[in-house]
A and B are shown apart, each in its own frame.
Chain A
Amino acid sequence: MKIKTSSAERHVLAVTVDNEAGILSKITGLFSARGYNIESLTVADISADHALSRITIVTLGPPSVIDQIIAQLDRLVPVHSVVDLTDNMHHVEREIALIKVAGTGDKRIEALRLADVFRAKVVDTTLSSFVFEITGASEKVDRFIALMRECGLIDVARTGVVAMARGN
């Protein structure tokens, strides 16, 4: 007997929760306990009184599983709302990455030239390194990082996706 797997779609969920101790563990624990995937997860508080946090989760699963994930999240006591931004909804996704490149000579010049093409900002520099800040969709960040590998990439930090529905 072999273990079977099924095909999956990518969905971006925006989950508004009470900003209380253990909430992140509750959310991630639900995903691990029920065997759901987390591709990326970002969290920060979003209200003036710091009472609410928004968690953006990128997950993979067949439609029936995505529906279950939303229902399971929605019934947690500290969860205020769950919105599937991918579901019939136009939305924007952004990610920030900090990318450190070390090198001299042609590689250093090429890194700076590519950063300009990608509209990445230099946020730190020494005579032998740069730290670039790049903002954009995940694919753009992926491509920039892939190019930087050829230019002396030594460190990457990414936020994961944040997303919002278009229009009002």
Chain B
Amino acid sequence: MVTSFAHAQAHPATAARAPKHILGTAIVRAALCDDTLGTLAIEGGGVISGASAAAGAGAVDAARGEMSGAEIILQALLDLGVDTIFGYPGGAVLPIYDALFNHPQIRHVLVRHEQAATHAAEGYARSTGKPGVVLVTSGPGATNAVTGITDALMDSIPMIVLSGQVATHLIGTDAFQECDTIGITRHCTKHNFLVLDPSRLGPVVHEAFHIATHGRPGPVLIDIPKDVQVATGEYIVPETIAHQSYRPQVTPDADALVTAAQMIASARQPIFYTGGGVINAGSAASAALRHLVELTGAPVTSTLMGLGAFPASDDKWLGMLGMHGTYEANYAMNRADLIIAVGARFDDRVTGRLDAFAPDAKKIHIDIDRSSINKSVPVDLAIVGDATAALTGIIAAWEAEGLHAQPLDEWWRRIEGWRSVQCLDFVQDDAADAEIMPQTAIRSLYAATRGRNPIITTEVGQHQMWAAQHFGFDDPNRWLTSGGLGTMGYGFPAAVGAQFAHPDDLVICIAGEASVQMNIQEMATAAQYRLPVKLFILNNEWMGMVRQWQELTYESRYSNSYSSSLPDFVKLADAYGWTGIRIDALGELDAAVQRMIETPGPVIVDCRVVKAANCFPMIPSGASHVDMILGSSDVSGTMDDEAKALV
């Protein structure tokens, strides 16, 4: 948010001089911002050297002497290994922006809306495992960031948000661009800080990173009044963060791990149900999961957030479970005698009707957040701890006890029966001028890009579910989607953030024509930094998932779900200096996808798809895993009030 500080406060003579000065600054800044990807050297490796004071008290960085609050913040970010910040300037963060001018080691990405800064930071974080960093101004800058902060809280994404605040003496006076950022973000952050003394900035920034990345990851906000950015203080580097009260349990109970191994060994119908926690626990957790599955021979299903932790190309992969999960995954969950939940939280999108969820299964729940255990589904064995530690611990117990799995042939025979339903099949007219089914478009994209191990982001809606169903992920951190909050407008900025972290990788946002418009202004960001992101729009001219629910529940009364007055996306591409490609018929699809991949720079693809297509299988509201709708012929068009009341 650009403030009108000059108009509000400056003397007319000062204001008249200002533009000349600003213009001079802008030229230098533009040169910095035009830096292409991958050319910036990254300093600082997260290891703080030279800190020698007594443990806990922290070390004063005496070599540098007193620094401004803004300088302390940037030095702390550098010491913590931060190379990229997503942000938008404004009056209350101008001191930090001025300090950034002298820190070219930190690349600042100028977004076009603060919400996009938060999603870009999420994309950066989810694709790297490192926390994403956001810088916004006070008032509207902070409130615009709230959606992305909440998204990061729901999906356990490590994020640091630095927000400017009005000067200390103005807090509480309804000053220009003042809002109660701490109050507003108190319940959508993992923790937040208001810093009133520049000498506290060093410890607080370090502590914020510690909190954001330890235990269940999440967003941490630091609110910094403008005078605290200007005033000087000492940069105190805490030697180790031994937080007095925040000590999440990461080491699982050893006895519970042995019990878990024994329960798995005695199960006849076991299934692994894995979630985003396995991704958050790092690639070692994915590797341990694969090893444990190999040892036990059990099938694997995953939540939306967990895709990629177990390879989709593996025989033991049943596909995603839940509302738009596969027939085989949901049936296997329903008929299992043991569910091993790893880093998943029995979300309502996963369980369906709770009293009919996995009625005959014992449940082991591995989670780093104790509050996830027994929240909606009571479990038989709770293991609180890090997923890597838990999975490797179960493997160690399995081997130490010399355990062997039960013969699972009968279980697999039944699974093959459910697989043979071929629940994801759909009818595609194969004429060259035929309309494209959305699933066909996703499969074409998958076939053309799988060799490049792309990073796929999505917006929210039907296209998101089709991408989850028809695009296969063999590795973690390559699938970025808004699962918990379901934020339309997430995918495109998340792709921008992921592309900054992976300049040489193919990053594709699969979008709907409605969702993409929620942050479409970021086309300018991609153009400015010459990011080669690909925006692949499944355009059916409907808010498809809303329309699908209206067909299921409200007798097809299409209240406000038509995407009217759409822009011409190819002309929009032209307007922003992108390449635009439109696909109308099946015969054009594969060649156009190839052209998208081969075109350097950002590309928007307006892929026209069958408008009436809906996303199946589907567990309707209030139904159990075995009451899936497999196709539109099963749709009755209405529901009772109890089902209507469920989201």
Interface residues of A (CB under 8 A from B): 1, 17-18, 21-22, 25-26, 29-30, 33, 64, 67-68, 71-72, 74-80
Tell me, rounded to whole Å, the shortest Cβ–Cβ distance linking A9 to chain B: 16
A-B contacts besides A68-B374, A72-B371, A75-B248, 14 pairs, CB < 8 Å: A1-B642, A1-B645, A21-B194, A22-B182, A22-B194, A25-B186, A33-B187, A64-B378, A68-B375, A71-B375, A75-B215, A75-B216, A78-B246, A80-B245
Name B196's closest neighbour in chain A (CB-CB).
A21
Known: A25-B183, A30-B187, A79-B245. A74 touches B642 (CB 8 A): no
With A and B bound together, what is the CA distance between A78 and B245 in angstroms? 6
Tell whether, in the assembled complex, residue B374 and residue A64 are in contact, meaning their CB atoms are under 8 Å apart: yes
> Per-residue 0/1 for B341-371: is the Cβ within 8 Å of any A Cβ (1 yes, 0 no)?
0000000000000000000000000000111
Given known A-B contacts A75-B370, A77-B211, A22 and B187 have beta carbons under 8 A apart: no
CB-CB under 8 A for A77 and B186, given A67-B374, A72-B371: no
A26 touches B186 (CB 8 A): yes
Known: A67-B374, A71-B371. A77 touches B190 (CB 8 A): yes
The interface residues of chain A lying within 8 Å CB-to-CB of B370 are 71, 74-75
Chain B interface bracket (under 10, 10 to 19, 20 to 34, 35 or more): 20 to 34
Q: List 28 A-B contacts (CB under 8 A).
A: A1-B645, A17-B245, A21-B194, A22-B182, A22-B194, A25-B186, A26-B187, A29-B186, A29-B187, A30-B187, A64-B374, A68-B374, A68-B375, A71-B373, A71-B375, A74-B370, A75-B216, A75-B248, A75-B371, A76-B191, A77-B190, A77-B191, A77-B211, A77-B243, A77-B245, A78-B246, A80-B244, A80-B245
User: What total count of A-B pairs have CB within 8 Å?
Assistant: 51
| Whole-angstrom distance between the Cβ of B315 and the nearest chain A Cβ | 37
- What B residues does A76 contact at CB under 8 A? 191
Q: A1-B642, A64-B374, A71-B371 known; A22 and B186 CB under 8 Å?
A: yes
Contact with A along B227-267 (1 / 0, CB 8 A): 00000000000000001111010000000000000000000
Residues of B within 8 A of A71 (CB): 370-371, 373, 375
In the assembled complex, B641 has its CB within 8 A of some CB on chain A = yes
B residues near A77, Cβ cutoff 8 Å: 190-191, 211, 243, 245-246
Question: Which residues of the partner chain A approach B186 to less than 8 Å between Cβ atoms?
Answer: 22, 25-26, 29
User: Nearest B residue to A32 by beta-carbon distance?
Assistant: B187
Q: Is the CB of B245 within 8 A of A68?
A: no
A74 touches B371 (CB 8 A): yes
6 closest A-B pairs by CB: A71-B371, A1-B641, A77-B191, A80-B245, A77-B246, A71-B370
Complex Cα gap A17–B182 (Å): 18
Q: How far is the CA of A33 from the CA of B150 in the complex (A)?
A: 13
Q: Which of B245, B248, B378, B641 lies at the interface centre, i.e. has the most chain A CB atoms within 10 A of its CB?
A: B245
Interface residues of B in 166-191 (CB under 8 A from A): 182-183, 186-187, 190-191
Whether the pair A75, B642 counts as a contact (CB closer than 8 A) is no
A133 vs B215: C-alpha distance in the bound complex, in angstroms?
47
Residues 372 to 411 of chain B near chain A (Cβ within 8 Å): 373-375, 378
**Max count, chain B CB within 10 A of own CB: residue among A26, A75, A77, A80:** A77
Q: Is the CB of A18 within 8 A of B244?
A: yes
